[in-house]
Structure 1
Amino acid sequence: MMTFPILKFKDYLHPRPEPKKIDVSSHLQHFALITYALNPERFKDIIPPRFKLDTIEYQGQTMALMSVVPFHHVDFTSAVYPFAKFNMGQIYYRVYVIDQHTQERCVWFLGAVLDSWTLIVPRYLWQLPWHPGNVHFECKQNTAGLYDVYNMNMSSSWGCAEVSLTQNEEDEWQFEGFPNQESYQVFLTHPMAGFYHRRDGQLGTYRVWHDKLCPKPAHLIHVRFELLERLQLLSFTEQQNPYSVMIEPINAFTVYLPPKVI
Protein backbone atom coordinates (compact mmCIF):
# COMPACT_ATOMS: atom_id res chain seq x y z
CA MET A 1 0.00 0.00 0.00
CA MET A 2 1.30 3.45 -0.91
CA THR A 3 2.17 5.79 1.97
CA PHE A 4 1.45 9.43 1.23
CA PRO A 5 4.30 11.78 2.22
CA ILE A 6 3.99 14.39 4.96
CA LEU A 7 3.50 17.87 3.49
CA LYS A 8 4.20 21.02 5.51
CA PHE A 9 3.13 24.58 4.81
CA LYS A 10 6.62 25.86 5.62
CA ASP A 11 7.94 24.04 2.55
CA TYR A 12 5.36 25.62 0.24
CA LEU A 13 4.90 29.17 1.51
CA HIS A 14 7.18 31.85 0.07
CA PRO A 15 7.11 35.63 -0.48
CA ARG A 16 5.09 36.87 -3.42
CA PRO A 17 7.18 37.15 -6.60
CA GLU A 18 7.15 40.77 -7.71
CA PRO A 19 4.31 41.28 -10.24
CA LYS A 20 5.28 42.67 -13.64
CA LYS A 21 3.64 43.96 -16.82
CA ILE A 22 0.21 42.32 -17.18
CA ASP A 23 0.11 40.22 -13.99
CA VAL A 24 -3.21 40.53 -12.16
CA SER A 25 -4.48 40.33 -8.60
CA SER A 26 -7.88 39.53 -7.18
CA HIS A 27 -9.73 38.71 -3.98
CA LEU A 28 -11.67 35.47 -4.33
CA GLN A 29 -14.90 35.55 -2.34
CA HIS A 30 -17.04 32.51 -1.41
CA PHE A 31 -14.10 30.26 -2.31
CA ALA A 32 -15.21 26.62 -2.10
CA LEU A 33 -13.37 23.35 -2.74
CA ILE A 34 -15.69 20.43 -3.47
CA THR A 35 -13.35 17.48 -3.83
CA TYR A 36 -14.02 13.98 -5.18
CA ALA A 37 -12.02 10.74 -5.01
CA LEU A 38 -12.14 8.85 -8.31
CA ASN A 39 -10.73 5.68 -9.80
CA PRO A 40 -7.66 6.80 -11.79
CA GLU A 41 -8.92 4.84 -14.80
CA ARG A 42 -11.57 7.50 -15.33
CA PHE A 43 -8.84 9.95 -16.35
CA LYS A 44 -6.98 7.65 -18.76
CA ASP A 45 -8.00 9.67 -21.85
CA ILE A 46 -7.81 13.07 -20.15
CA ILE A 47 -4.40 13.51 -18.47
CA PRO A 48 -1.39 13.79 -20.88
CA PRO A 49 1.63 11.45 -20.44
CA ARG A 50 3.79 14.28 -19.03
CA PHE A 51 1.70 14.14 -15.85
CA LYS A 52 0.81 11.43 -13.39
CA LEU A 53 -2.15 11.50 -11.07
CA ASP A 54 -1.29 12.44 -7.48
CA THR A 55 -3.11 9.62 -5.72
CA ILE A 56 -4.01 8.60 -2.17
CA GLU A 57 -5.17 5.37 -0.57
CA TYR A 58 -8.84 5.88 0.23
CA GLN A 59 -11.28 3.24 1.47
CA GLY A 60 -8.87 0.49 0.46
CA GLN A 61 -8.31 1.76 -3.09
CA THR A 62 -5.82 3.96 -4.91
CA MET A 63 -7.79 7.07 -5.84
CA ALA A 64 -7.18 10.33 -7.72
CA LEU A 65 -8.57 13.61 -6.40
CA MET A 66 -10.43 16.27 -8.37
CA SER A 67 -11.93 19.54 -7.09
CA VAL A 68 -14.67 21.81 -8.37
CA VAL A 69 -13.82 25.34 -7.25
CA PRO A 70 -16.48 28.09 -7.45
CA PHE A 71 -15.74 31.65 -6.31
CA HIS A 72 -16.47 35.30 -7.05
CA HIS A 73 -13.77 37.80 -8.04
CA VAL A 74 -14.51 41.02 -6.14
CA ASP A 75 -11.70 43.23 -7.45
CA PHE A 76 -9.93 41.61 -10.38
CA THR A 77 -7.37 44.16 -11.60
CA SER A 78 -3.78 44.84 -12.59
CA ALA A 79 -1.26 43.87 -9.93
CA VAL A 80 1.12 46.58 -11.18
CA TYR A 81 -0.73 49.64 -12.47
CA PRO A 82 -3.81 51.63 -11.45
CA PHE A 83 -6.58 50.02 -13.45
CA ALA A 84 -10.31 49.33 -13.50
CA LYS A 85 -11.54 46.62 -11.13
CA PHE A 86 -13.90 43.87 -12.27
CA ASN A 87 -16.33 41.64 -10.38
CA MET A 88 -17.15 38.25 -11.87
CA GLY A 89 -18.09 34.72 -10.96
CA GLN A 90 -15.93 31.79 -11.94
CA ILE A 91 -15.81 28.03 -11.51
CA TYR A 92 -12.79 25.77 -12.10
CA TYR A 93 -12.60 22.02 -12.60
CA ARG A 94 -9.15 20.75 -11.61
CA VAL A 95 -7.39 17.42 -11.13
CA TYR A 96 -4.36 17.01 -8.83
CA VAL A 97 -1.31 15.78 -10.72
CA ILE A 98 2.50 15.67 -10.60
CA ASP A 99 4.55 17.17 -13.44
CA GLN A 100 6.97 14.34 -14.22
CA HIS A 101 9.44 16.81 -15.78
CA THR A 102 9.84 18.81 -12.55
CA GLN A 103 8.21 16.57 -9.89
CA GLU A 104 6.10 19.58 -8.85
CA ARG A 105 2.65 19.00 -7.45
CA CYS A 106 0.25 20.97 -9.63
CA VAL A 107 -3.23 20.82 -11.17
CA TRP A 108 -4.62 19.84 -14.54
CA PHE A 109 -7.50 22.07 -15.57
CA LEU A 110 -10.41 20.43 -17.33
CA GLY A 111 -11.56 24.00 -17.94
CA ALA A 112 -13.44 26.86 -16.36
CA VAL A 113 -16.50 29.08 -16.76
CA LEU A 114 -16.14 32.85 -16.42
CA ASP A 115 -19.01 35.31 -16.08
CA SER A 116 -17.51 38.40 -17.71
CA TRP A 117 -16.95 40.04 -21.08
CA THR A 118 -13.23 39.98 -20.19
CA LEU A 119 -13.38 36.27 -21.14
CA ILE A 120 -12.36 37.33 -24.66
CA VAL A 121 -8.73 37.72 -23.53
CA PRO A 122 -8.07 34.27 -21.98
CA ARG A 123 -10.37 32.44 -24.41
CA TYR A 124 -9.41 33.97 -27.73
CA LEU A 125 -6.03 35.65 -27.23
CA TRP A 126 -4.46 32.97 -25.00
CA GLN A 127 -6.64 30.03 -26.11
CA LEU A 128 -7.40 28.91 -22.55
CA PRO A 129 -10.24 26.38 -22.16
CA TRP A 130 -12.38 29.03 -20.45
CA HIS A 131 -16.06 29.18 -21.40
CA PRO A 132 -18.80 31.81 -21.11
CA GLY A 133 -21.58 31.48 -18.58
CA ASN A 134 -23.69 33.21 -15.97
CA VAL A 135 -22.66 32.64 -12.35
CA HIS A 136 -24.85 33.69 -9.43
CA PHE A 137 -24.11 33.38 -5.70
CA GLU A 138 -26.60 33.53 -2.82
CA CYS A 139 -24.65 33.35 0.43
CA LYS A 140 -25.35 34.16 4.06
CA GLN A 141 -22.80 33.97 6.87
CA ASN A 142 -23.52 33.90 10.58
CA THR A 143 -21.76 35.86 13.32
CA ALA A 144 -19.05 33.17 13.50
CA GLY A 145 -18.27 33.69 9.82
CA LEU A 146 -19.65 30.28 8.84
CA TYR A 147 -22.05 29.85 5.94
CA ASP A 148 -25.64 29.20 6.92
CA VAL A 149 -26.41 29.46 3.20
CA TYR A 150 -24.05 28.88 0.26
CA ASN A 151 -25.81 28.59 -3.08
CA MET A 152 -24.16 28.93 -6.48
CA ASN A 153 -25.96 28.53 -9.80
CA MET A 154 -24.14 28.59 -13.10
CA SER A 155 -25.64 28.40 -16.58
CA SER A 156 -23.36 27.69 -19.53
CA SER A 157 -23.55 25.87 -22.85
CA TRP A 158 -20.39 24.05 -21.73
CA GLY A 159 -22.23 22.60 -18.75
CA CYS A 160 -24.50 24.06 -16.09
CA ALA A 161 -23.82 23.68 -12.38
CA GLU A 162 -25.66 23.92 -9.06
CA VAL A 163 -24.03 24.02 -5.63
CA SER A 164 -25.74 24.12 -2.24
CA LEU A 165 -23.56 23.94 0.88
CA THR A 166 -23.76 24.85 4.55
CA GLN A 167 -21.41 25.03 7.53
CA ASN A 168 -21.59 24.58 11.26
CA GLU A 169 -19.15 24.20 14.14
CA GLU A 170 -19.67 20.42 14.16
CA ASP A 171 -18.38 19.90 10.59
CA GLU A 172 -15.38 17.59 10.84
CA TRP A 173 -12.15 17.54 8.86
CA GLN A 174 -11.96 14.66 6.40
CA PHE A 175 -8.47 13.71 5.29
CA GLU A 176 -8.46 9.93 5.00
CA GLY A 177 -5.49 8.84 2.90
CA PHE A 178 -3.26 11.66 4.16
CA PRO A 179 -0.88 11.32 7.13
CA ASN A 180 -2.37 14.39 8.84
CA GLN A 181 -4.64 17.39 8.34
CA GLU A 182 -1.83 19.72 7.32
CA SER A 183 -0.75 17.42 4.47
CA TYR A 184 -4.34 17.37 3.22
CA GLN A 185 -4.64 21.16 3.36
CA VAL A 186 -1.30 21.72 1.61
CA PHE A 187 -2.23 19.21 -1.10
CA LEU A 188 -5.60 20.78 -1.90
CA THR A 189 -4.79 24.47 -1.47
CA HIS A 190 -1.19 24.99 -2.56
CA PRO A 191 -0.61 23.86 -6.12
CA MET A 192 0.79 27.02 -7.73
CA ALA A 193 1.06 25.80 -11.34
CA GLY A 194 -1.82 24.87 -13.59
CA PHE A 195 -1.68 23.04 -16.91
CA TYR A 196 -4.33 22.48 -19.57
CA HIS A 197 -4.97 21.74 -23.21
CA ARG A 198 -5.40 25.04 -25.02
CA ARG A 199 -8.34 25.40 -27.36
CA ASP A 200 -5.90 24.88 -30.25
CA GLY A 201 -4.69 21.59 -28.73
CA GLN A 202 -1.32 22.79 -27.46
CA LEU A 203 -0.20 22.36 -23.87
CA GLY A 204 -0.43 25.56 -21.83
CA THR A 205 0.46 26.64 -18.32
CA TYR A 206 0.37 29.59 -15.93
CA ARG A 207 1.30 30.18 -12.31
CA VAL A 208 -0.36 31.84 -9.33
CA TRP A 209 0.70 32.97 -5.89
CA HIS A 210 -1.24 33.21 -2.65
CA ASP A 211 -0.51 33.13 1.04
CA LYS A 212 -1.69 30.29 3.26
CA LEU A 213 -5.34 29.53 2.58
CA CYS A 214 -7.54 28.71 5.56
CA PRO A 215 -10.79 27.12 4.36
CA LYS A 216 -12.94 25.30 6.90
CA PRO A 217 -14.99 22.13 6.52
CA ALA A 218 -18.49 22.42 5.13
CA HIS A 219 -21.38 20.09 4.36
CA LEU A 220 -22.84 19.37 0.94
CA ILE A 221 -26.61 19.66 0.61
CA HIS A 222 -26.86 19.21 -3.16
CA VAL A 223 -24.73 19.65 -6.29
CA ARG A 224 -25.14 19.06 -9.99
CA PHE A 225 -22.23 19.37 -12.42
CA GLU A 226 -23.29 18.63 -15.99
CA LEU A 227 -19.68 18.61 -17.21
CA LEU A 228 -18.63 15.77 -14.90
CA GLU A 229 -21.64 13.71 -15.98
CA ARG A 230 -20.95 14.37 -19.68
CA LEU A 231 -17.27 13.40 -19.35
CA GLN A 232 -18.37 10.23 -17.51
CA LEU A 233 -16.22 11.16 -14.55
CA LEU A 234 -19.02 11.28 -11.98
CA SER A 235 -22.69 10.49 -12.31
CA PHE A 236 -25.15 12.90 -10.71
CA THR A 237 -25.66 10.34 -7.94
CA GLU A 238 -21.90 10.03 -7.30
CA GLN A 239 -21.60 13.80 -7.16
CA GLN A 240 -23.66 13.83 -3.96
CA ASN A 241 -20.87 11.99 -2.11
CA PRO A 242 -17.72 14.13 -2.20
CA TYR A 243 -14.46 13.21 -0.53
CA SER A 244 -14.48 16.56 1.30
CA VAL A 245 -15.95 20.07 1.17
CA MET A 246 -14.34 23.30 2.38
CA ILE A 247 -15.15 27.02 2.15
CA GLU A 248 -13.07 30.14 2.77
CA PRO A 249 -14.96 33.48 2.79
CA ILE A 250 -12.23 35.42 0.97
CA ASN A 251 -8.56 35.18 0.00
CA ALA A 252 -6.08 36.99 -2.24
CA PHE A 253 -4.45 35.63 -5.41
CA THR A 254 -1.87 36.95 -7.86
CA VAL A 255 -1.87 35.47 -11.37
CA TYR A 256 1.29 35.68 -13.48
CA LEU A 257 0.53 36.36 -17.12
CA PRO A 258 0.56 35.76 -20.01
CA PRO A 259 0.18 31.97 -19.95
CA LYS A 260 2.93 30.01 -21.65
CA VAL A 261 2.78 27.47 -24.44
CA ILE A 262 4.89 24.37 -23.74
Structure 2
Amino acid sequence: MTFVGTLRPRLRWHHAETELDDFAVVSYRVETAALAALLPAGFAPREVVFDDGRAGALVSAVAFTDRAFHFRFCPPVAISCGQINYRAYVTAHGRTGVWFFATSLDHALVGLPRLVWGMPWRRTRIRIDADWTSGAGRWRLIATDRSRTSACDAAEGGAEGDTASERLDGFAGRDEWLDFLTHPTSGWYGRPDGGVGEYSIWHPPMTPRLLTARHARFPLFERLGLIDPAMAPHSVLAQPTLHFDVHTPPRRYRGRSVTDPSTIIEHRHL
Protein backbone atom coordinates (compact mmCIF):
# COMPACT_ATOMS: atom_id res chain seq x y z
CA MET A 1 0.00 0.00 0.00
CA THR A 2 1.32 3.43 -0.95
CA PHE A 3 0.51 6.52 1.10
CA VAL A 4 -1.51 8.89 -1.12
CA GLY A 5 -1.94 11.87 1.18
CA THR A 6 -5.09 14.00 1.15
CA LEU A 7 -7.29 15.63 -1.45
CA ARG A 8 -6.22 19.17 -2.30
CA PRO A 9 -8.79 21.72 -1.13
CA ARG A 10 -9.79 24.35 -3.66
CA LEU A 11 -7.45 27.33 -3.55
CA ARG A 12 -9.04 30.70 -2.81
CA TRP A 13 -7.82 34.20 -3.57
CA HIS A 14 -6.79 34.80 0.07
CA HIS A 15 -4.71 31.64 0.42
CA ALA A 16 -0.92 31.54 0.12
CA GLU A 17 1.52 29.32 -1.74
CA THR A 18 5.21 28.61 -1.28
CA GLU A 19 8.00 26.25 -2.20
CA LEU A 20 9.90 24.85 0.76
CA ASP A 21 13.52 24.06 -0.07
CA ASP A 22 15.86 21.86 2.00
CA PHE A 23 12.91 20.72 4.08
CA ALA A 24 13.55 18.59 7.18
CA VAL A 25 11.46 17.23 10.07
CA VAL A 26 13.65 16.64 13.14
CA SER A 27 11.57 14.69 15.67
CA TYR A 28 12.04 13.81 19.34
CA ARG A 29 10.37 11.25 21.56
CA VAL A 30 8.95 12.92 24.70
CA GLU A 31 6.98 11.94 27.77
CA THR A 32 3.24 12.12 27.23
CA ALA A 33 2.56 13.75 30.60
CA ALA A 34 5.18 16.46 30.03
CA LEU A 35 3.64 17.38 26.68
CA ALA A 36 0.06 17.18 27.97
CA ALA A 37 0.90 19.75 30.67
CA LEU A 38 1.72 22.30 27.93
CA LEU A 39 -1.53 21.93 25.98
CA PRO A 40 -4.83 23.77 26.50
CA ALA A 41 -8.08 22.07 27.51
CA GLY A 42 -9.48 19.84 24.78
CA PHE A 43 -6.03 19.06 23.35
CA ALA A 44 -4.11 15.84 24.03
CA PRO A 45 -0.85 14.29 22.80
CA ARG A 46 -1.08 11.54 20.21
CA GLU A 47 0.62 8.54 21.76
CA VAL A 48 2.89 6.01 20.09
CA VAL A 49 4.00 2.68 21.58
CA PHE A 50 7.74 2.56 20.96
CA ASP A 51 9.92 -0.50 20.45
CA ASP A 52 10.80 -0.68 24.15
CA GLY A 53 7.11 -1.22 24.96
CA ARG A 54 6.60 2.23 26.51
CA ALA A 55 4.06 4.76 25.24
CA GLY A 56 5.15 8.32 24.51
CA ALA A 57 4.57 11.32 22.29
CA LEU A 58 6.49 13.12 19.56
CA VAL A 59 7.49 16.72 18.84
CA SER A 60 9.32 18.09 15.81
CA ALA A 61 11.40 21.03 14.70
CA VAL A 62 10.46 21.51 11.03
CA ALA A 63 13.02 23.66 9.23
CA PHE A 64 13.20 24.84 5.63
CA THR A 65 13.83 27.77 3.34
CA ASP A 66 10.70 29.50 2.07
CA ARG A 67 11.08 30.25 -1.63
CA ALA A 68 8.71 32.86 -3.07
CA PHE A 69 6.07 32.70 -0.34
CA HIS A 70 3.18 34.84 -1.58
CA PHE A 71 -0.51 35.43 -1.16
CA ARG A 72 -2.46 34.50 -4.26
CA PHE A 73 -4.04 37.96 -4.50
CA CYS A 74 -0.57 39.54 -4.73
CA PRO A 75 1.91 37.18 -6.41
CA PRO A 76 4.52 39.87 -7.23
CA VAL A 77 5.11 40.43 -3.50
CA ALA A 78 6.99 37.28 -2.48
CA ILE A 79 9.49 36.59 0.30
CA SER A 80 12.22 33.99 0.64
CA CYS A 81 13.83 33.18 3.98
CA GLY A 82 14.57 30.48 6.55
CA GLN A 83 11.83 29.22 8.85
CA ILE A 84 11.52 26.77 11.77
CA ASN A 85 8.20 25.50 13.11
CA TYR A 86 8.22 23.89 16.56
CA ARG A 87 5.27 21.53 16.80
CA ALA A 88 3.72 18.63 18.72
CA TYR A 89 1.43 15.91 17.36
CA VAL A 90 -1.96 16.18 19.05
CA THR A 91 -5.68 15.64 18.92
CA ALA A 92 -8.10 18.53 19.38
CA HIS A 93 -11.63 17.50 20.32
CA GLY A 94 -11.22 14.34 18.26
CA ARG A 95 -9.37 15.89 15.30
CA THR A 96 -5.73 15.13 14.62
CA GLY A 97 -3.14 17.79 13.84
CA VAL A 98 -0.25 19.69 15.39
CA TRP A 99 0.13 22.21 18.18
CA PHE A 100 2.58 25.01 17.34
CA PHE A 101 4.71 26.18 20.24
CA ALA A 102 6.53 28.79 18.15
CA THR A 103 7.76 29.72 14.70
CA SER A 104 11.12 31.32 13.93
CA LEU A 105 11.40 33.36 10.74
CA ASP A 106 14.44 35.06 9.26
CA HIS A 107 12.63 38.06 7.81
CA ALA A 108 11.73 41.58 8.88
CA LEU A 109 8.03 40.89 8.25
CA VAL A 110 7.91 38.39 11.12
CA GLY A 111 5.94 40.91 13.19
CA LEU A 112 2.91 40.89 10.88
CA PRO A 113 1.53 37.41 11.70
CA ARG A 114 2.20 38.11 15.38
CA LEU A 115 0.37 41.43 15.39
CA VAL A 116 -2.44 40.65 12.94
CA TRP A 117 -3.23 37.03 13.84
CA GLY A 118 -1.66 36.61 17.30
CA MET A 119 0.69 33.89 16.07
CA PRO A 120 3.74 32.96 18.23
CA TRP A 121 6.34 34.03 15.66
CA ARG A 122 9.73 35.62 16.36
CA ARG A 123 12.75 36.86 14.42
CA THR A 124 15.69 34.43 14.24
CA ARG A 125 18.81 34.31 12.11
CA ILE A 126 18.55 31.01 10.23
CA ARG A 127 21.02 29.32 7.93
CA ILE A 128 20.24 26.02 6.21
CA ASP A 129 22.73 24.25 3.97
CA ALA A 130 22.08 20.98 2.17
CA ASP A 131 23.73 18.77 -0.42
CA TRP A 132 21.48 16.33 -2.27
CA THR A 133 23.69 15.52 -5.26
CA SER A 134 27.13 14.48 -3.98
CA GLY A 135 26.36 10.93 -2.95
CA ALA A 136 24.68 10.59 0.45
CA GLY A 137 22.55 13.60 1.30
CA ARG A 138 23.55 16.03 4.04
CA TRP A 139 21.53 18.72 5.81
CA ARG A 140 22.72 21.40 8.25
CA LEU A 141 20.86 24.01 10.30
CA ILE A 142 22.12 26.78 12.53
CA ALA A 143 19.71 29.34 13.98
CA THR A 144 20.53 32.08 16.49
CA ASP A 145 17.88 33.80 18.57
CA ARG A 146 18.60 35.92 21.67
CA SER A 147 22.01 34.31 22.18
CA ARG A 148 20.50 30.81 21.98
CA THR A 149 21.54 28.56 19.12
CA SER A 150 19.52 25.77 17.55
CA ALA A 151 21.54 23.46 15.35
CA CYS A 152 21.42 20.15 13.53
CA ASP A 153 23.96 18.34 11.38
CA ALA A 154 22.48 15.25 9.73
CA ALA A 155 23.61 12.94 6.97
CA GLU A 156 22.16 10.10 4.95
CA GLY A 157 23.54 6.62 5.35
CA GLY A 158 22.21 5.12 2.11
CA ALA A 159 23.02 5.58 -1.54
CA GLU A 160 22.31 8.74 -3.49
CA GLY A 161 18.62 9.18 -4.24
CA ASP A 162 17.38 6.68 -1.64
CA THR A 163 14.07 7.56 -0.04
CA ALA A 164 13.25 6.70 3.55
CA SER A 165 11.78 3.21 3.54
CA GLU A 166 12.96 1.95 6.92
CA ARG A 167 10.58 1.22 9.76
CA LEU A 168 10.84 3.96 12.36
CA ASP A 169 10.66 3.30 16.09
CA GLY A 170 7.01 3.14 17.15
CA PHE A 171 5.50 2.68 13.68
CA ALA A 172 4.51 -0.49 11.89
CA GLY A 173 5.57 0.70 8.45
CA ARG A 174 6.36 3.56 6.10
CA ASP A 175 2.77 4.59 5.39
CA GLU A 176 2.05 4.90 9.10
CA TRP A 177 4.95 7.23 9.91
CA LEU A 178 4.46 9.21 6.70
CA ASP A 179 0.90 9.97 7.76
CA PHE A 180 1.78 10.75 11.37
CA LEU A 181 5.01 12.75 11.03
CA THR A 182 4.79 14.36 7.60
CA HIS A 183 1.13 14.82 6.74
CA PRO A 184 -0.92 16.49 9.47
CA THR A 185 -2.92 19.25 7.80
CA SER A 186 -4.55 21.12 10.72
CA GLY A 187 -2.57 23.29 13.13
CA TRP A 188 -3.37 25.22 16.31
CA TYR A 189 -1.51 27.78 18.39
CA GLY A 190 -1.98 29.85 21.53
CA ARG A 191 -3.04 33.48 21.06
CA PRO A 192 -1.89 36.34 23.34
CA ASP A 193 -5.49 36.84 24.46
CA GLY A 194 -5.64 33.30 25.84
CA GLY A 195 -7.62 31.91 22.94
CA VAL A 196 -6.56 29.39 20.31
CA GLY A 197 -5.98 30.07 16.63
CA GLU A 198 -6.08 27.52 13.83
CA TYR A 199 -5.25 27.17 10.17
CA SER A 200 -4.65 24.40 7.68
CA ILE A 201 -2.28 23.53 4.86
CA TRP A 202 -1.97 21.08 1.99
CA HIS A 203 1.04 19.52 0.33
CA PRO A 204 1.59 16.44 -1.80
CA PRO A 205 2.88 13.29 -0.07
CA MET A 206 6.51 13.60 0.90
CA THR A 207 9.18 11.28 -0.49
CA PRO A 208 11.63 11.89 2.34
CA ARG A 209 15.16 10.63 2.79
CA LEU A 210 16.06 9.27 6.19
CA LEU A 211 19.04 11.06 7.75
CA THR A 212 20.91 10.43 10.98
CA ALA A 213 21.73 13.38 13.22
CA ARG A 214 25.42 13.67 14.06
CA HIS A 215 24.56 16.60 16.30
CA ALA A 216 21.26 18.25 17.20
CA ARG A 217 20.25 20.85 19.76
CA PHE A 218 16.93 22.68 20.09
CA PRO A 219 16.87 24.91 23.21
CA LEU A 220 13.16 25.71 22.86
CA PHE A 221 12.20 22.08 23.52
CA GLU A 222 14.70 22.02 26.39
CA ARG A 223 13.16 25.12 27.99
CA LEU A 224 9.73 23.51 27.73
CA GLY A 225 11.02 20.55 29.72
CA LEU A 226 10.46 18.08 26.90
CA ILE A 227 14.03 17.01 26.08
CA ASP A 228 17.49 17.33 27.57
CA PRO A 229 20.52 18.76 25.72
CA ALA A 230 22.12 15.35 25.12
CA MET A 231 19.03 13.67 23.68
CA ALA A 232 19.32 12.32 20.14
CA PRO A 233 16.42 12.82 17.73
CA HIS A 234 13.96 10.02 17.11
CA SER A 235 14.28 10.65 13.35
CA VAL A 236 15.30 13.16 10.70
CA LEU A 237 13.22 13.13 7.51
CA ALA A 238 14.28 15.44 4.70
CA GLN A 239 13.81 16.18 1.03
CA PRO A 240 15.12 18.82 -1.39
CA THR A 241 11.86 20.68 -2.03
CA LEU A 242 8.14 20.52 -1.26
CA HIS A 243 5.16 22.63 -2.37
CA PHE A 244 2.77 24.03 0.27
CA ASP A 245 -0.65 25.62 0.08
CA VAL A 246 -1.38 27.67 3.21
CA HIS A 247 -5.05 28.32 3.91
CA THR A 248 -4.81 31.85 5.26
CA PRO A 249 -5.99 33.73 7.18
CA PRO A 250 -5.87 31.86 10.50
CA ARG A 251 -9.09 31.96 12.49
CA ARG A 252 -10.16 31.52 16.09
CA TYR A 253 -10.61 27.91 17.08
CA ARG A 254 -14.05 27.24 18.58
CA GLY A 255 -13.51 23.63 19.60
CA ARG A 256 -15.62 22.10 16.88
CA SER A 257 -15.14 20.59 13.43
CA VAL A 258 -14.46 22.81 10.43
CA THR A 259 -17.56 23.30 8.28
CA ASP A 260 -16.19 25.45 5.45
CA PRO A 261 -15.87 23.03 2.48
CA SER A 262 -12.70 24.78 1.30
CA THR A 263 -10.85 23.86 4.50
CA ILE A 264 -12.20 20.40 5.30
CA ILE A 265 -9.23 18.04 5.52
CA GLU A 266 -9.82 14.32 5.77
CA HIS A 267 -6.60 13.41 7.56
CA ARG A 268 -3.98 15.58 9.31
CA HIS A 269 -1.55 18.67 9.13
CA LEU A 270 1.79 20.64 8.69
> What TM-score, normalized by structure 2, do the two folds share?
0.86
Partner of 1:213 in structure 2?
Answer: 206
Query: What residue is the counterpart of 1:142 in the other structure?
Result: 133
- Say whether residues 1:164 and 2:164 are aligned partners: no
Once the two structures are superposed, residues 193-229 of structure 1 have per-residue CA deviations (whole angstroms, 9 ceiling, x without a partner) of: 0001013321110110111111110010111111112
Unaligned 5+ segments in structure 2 are 254-270
Deviation for aligned residue 1:156: 1.1
Q: CA deviation at 1:8?
A: 7.0
The equivalent of 1:178 in structure 2 is 171
Please give the secondary structure, in 1, of the residue aligned with 2:89.
strand
The match for 1:98 is 91
- Residues 127-136 or 178-187, more deviating: 178-187
Cα RMSD, aligned residues only: 2.0
Task: In structure 2, give the amino acid aligned to 1:45.
Answer: A
**In 2, distance between residues paired with 1:36 and 1:216?**
17
Q: Give how far 1:42 is off.
A: 1.2
Specify the alignment match of 1:50 in structure 2.
Answer: 42
1:31 pairs with 17, 23, 36, which one? 23
Could you say if the C-alpha distance between residues 138 and 180 of structure 1 is closer, same or farther in structure 2, counting changes exceeding 3 Å?
Answer: closer
Contact 2:165–2:174 (8 Å) recurs in 1: no
Whether the 8 Å CA contact 1:25–1:253 is kept in 2: the answer is yes
CA distance in 2, matches of 1:119, 1:162: 21
- Counterparts of 1:158 and 1:185, CA distance in 2: 34
1:155 pairs with 2:149: no
Q: Aligned equivalents of 1:105 and 1:160: distance in 2? A: 31
Q: 1:250 aligns with which of 241, 260, 263?
A: 241
* Superposition deviation, residue 160 in structure 1: 2.9
State the alpha-carbon separation in 2 of the partners of residues 158 and 201 from structure 1.
Answer: 28
1:78-98 Cα shifts (integer Å, max 9, x gaps): 234432221110001111011
Poorly superposed stretches of 4+, deviation over 4 Å: none
| Alignment correspondent of 2:3 | 9
Stretches of structure 1 lacking an aligned partner (at least 5 in a row): 1-6
2:109 to 90, 113, 118: 118
Q: Which residue of 2 aligns with 1:132?
A: 123
* Gap change, CA 1:9 and 1:251, over 3 Å in 2: same
In the TM superposition, residue 23 of structure 1 has moved relative to its aligned partner by 1.1
* C-alpha spacing 1:221/1:207, structure 2 compared with 1 (3 Å): same
Name the residue aligned to 1:65. 58
- Alignment correspondent of 1:188: 181
Partner residue in 2 for 1:3: none
- Residue 191 (structure 1) shift: 0.6
Instruction: Report the equivalent of 1:88.
Output: 81
Give the C-alpha shift of residue 22 in structure 1. 2.5
2:26/2:236 contact within 8 Å kept: yes
- Whether the 8 Å CA contact 2:124–2:145 is kept in 1: the answer is yes
Q: Report the alpha carbon displacement of residue 139 of structure 1 after superposing the two structures with TM.
A: 2.1
The change in CA–CA distance for 1:155 and 1:180 in structure 2 (over 3 A counts) is same
Q: Could you tell me the TM-score, scaled by structure 1's length?
A: 0.88
